[in-house]
Amino acid sequence: MKTEVKPGAENEVVLSVEVPEDDVKRLYERTVARLRGELQIPGFRKGRVPRELAIRHLGEDYIKGEALNDALPEWYEKALDESAVEAVSMPDLDLGDYDPAGPYTFQVTVQVRPTPVLGQYKGLEVPKRTPQVTEGQVDAQLAMLQERFATLQPVEGRAVAQGDFVLMDFEASRDGDPIEGAQATDYMAQIGRGQLIPGFEAAVEGMAAGEEKVFDVTFPDDYQAEELRGQQATFKVKVKEIKEKVVPELDDEFAADASEFETLAELRDDIRRRLMTAAEAAADYDFRAAAVAAAVDNATVTVPPAMIEREAHNLYHELEESVGERGLTMETYLAVLEKTAEEVERELAPRAEARVKRRLVLDAIVAAEGLEVTDDEVRARIMEDAEVLGRDGNQLVLEVYKSGRQDLLRDELLMAKAVSLIVDNAVAVPAEEPAAEESEEPQAEAEAGAPEAQEAEAEAPEAQAEAGSAAERTS
């Protein structure tokens, strides 16, 4: 078989394929034999219909069409192999004239994987934030900790006020008829949070414990029960108990109760240390991401539409898995968005293009630098994953190699090396500091490890986005 490759449009090639007469005849006869084996004609056993009778019965045009359907995938794959073309799209075929008695020529147009033209990726000047922790951030963490240790205390001698927690019974009716599902006993609500129907909390405010009250409210137009939207209802409410939230004082006693420290000063120091660890990890994480982004931006490459569509489809399925992990169906999620799956995929296209471009550039850097991953490095990574998973390392190595997943892992490690090369050669320059009000936001939970620190210890996000967690893959 002879294959000639010519350039087409951007990121496209046209393959002109000539199939020798012998191959054409052989594959045509293979199709005839298959059709004869499937054919049933009265007077003949299945598969025993004479060749010429089968051809007359089925028709020459039908058999030629079936022969092409059978042979084209094989010829197409062989043409790609012989020409070393890496197609990234479905083929656009120009079938030409097919005669099973002679040689056959057809053309295929495909989109191909582009090779980026690399720009600067070493010595990049990349902004890096100077980690800072303010007293306001420490105070915010302490306030969160106070909230966790707050208690509800009964209120006596006054009526319901904003912020109170009210234990109540209520029932609703419309035109004298009870509304199904609008009754509750020992229902607890915080007044002022806006968690109830508009007007309900305002009506309860000012009531005393043991007091009953009847009032009307109107269900909002976006209420979940369609039949009640915009409808007026009468509520009968009895306040059974009023409680207020009591936040503990910030003192040494609170520090001893809420932590392993004896004094408030020690607790503040520990929170400050945790926040600084988180701030340093976040700064490193952002620096790595910015360095890779700069290298990608400096490269020139046009991503073929087929690669964008495929990646957008992958992103959609990642979203579907994420939605499922939250206990929702994709149908429910799409209904909330009021969008179709196709619309969501189209919206994911820019992100998909960015991800593909990033991967293409990292691959080009791997090639330009001659980066390699040894078998020992692959094995070491699997052993690390085994420790994370609580598995026997040697057994996991055998499983990974038996399934062929070592190449996927090797590719992940290559991407990580490309990212590290960019980051290690980048030059940090001072970044613009955030506005004062932004710097006051808490960076981590006071009593928990910083998630940013955990992320920064992993590979750069670009490598992770392409390859995912090795531990997950090798499990």
Higher pLDDT, 355 or 446: 355
Residue 148 reports pLDDT greater than 50: yes
Both tokens of 242, joined, read 């009023």
Rama region for 183: left / alpha / beta (φ>0; ψ in -120 to 50; rest)? beta
Give me the mean pLDDT over the 104-124 stretch: 94
What is the DSSP-derived secondary structure letter of residue 444? S
- If you average pLDDT over every residue of the chain, what do you get? 88
For residue range 375-424, what is the model confidence (pLDDT) as tens digits?
A: 999 999 999 999 999 999 999 999 999 998 999 999 999 999 999 999 99
Percentage of the chain beyond pLDDT 90 is 72
**pLDDT at residue 344, as a whole number:** 95
Both tokens of 345, joined, read 């995929």
In whole angstroms, give the CA distance from residue 81 to residue 77. 6
Give me the mean pLDDT over the 317-346 stretch: 92
Angle between the N-to-C axes of helices 305-325 and 341-369, in degrees from 0 to 180, rounded to the nearest 10:
110
Burial 176-213 (b: 16+ CB within 10 A, else e): eeebeebeeeeeebbbeeeebbeebbebbeebebeeeb
Question: What are 218's strand-pairing partners?
Answer: 232
SS3 323: helix
**pLDDT at residue 178, as a whole number:** 93
**pLDDT at residue 433, as a whole number:** 67
Question: What are 430's strand-pairing partners?
Answer: 128
For residue range 182-218, what is the model confidence (pLDDT) as tens digits?
A: 899 999 999 999 888 999 999 999 999 999 999 999 9
**pLDDT at residue 434, as a whole number:** 58
Residue 41 reports pLDDT greater than 90: no
* Secondary structure element (H or E) that encloses residue 166, with its range: strand 165-174
Rg (CA), the chain: 34
For residue range 424-461, what is the model confidence (pLDDT) as tens digits?
A: 999 999 987 655 444 444 444 433 333 333 333 333 33
Angle between the N-to-C axes of helices 393-403 and 375-389, in degrees from 0 to 180, rounded to the nearest 10:
120
Which residues have C-beta within 8 Å of that of residue 122, sequence separation ≥ 6? 421, 422, 425
**pLDDT at residue 56, as a whole number:** 86
Give me the mean pLDDT over the 60-67 stretch: 90
SS3 84: coil
pTM of the model: 0.70
SS3 4: strand
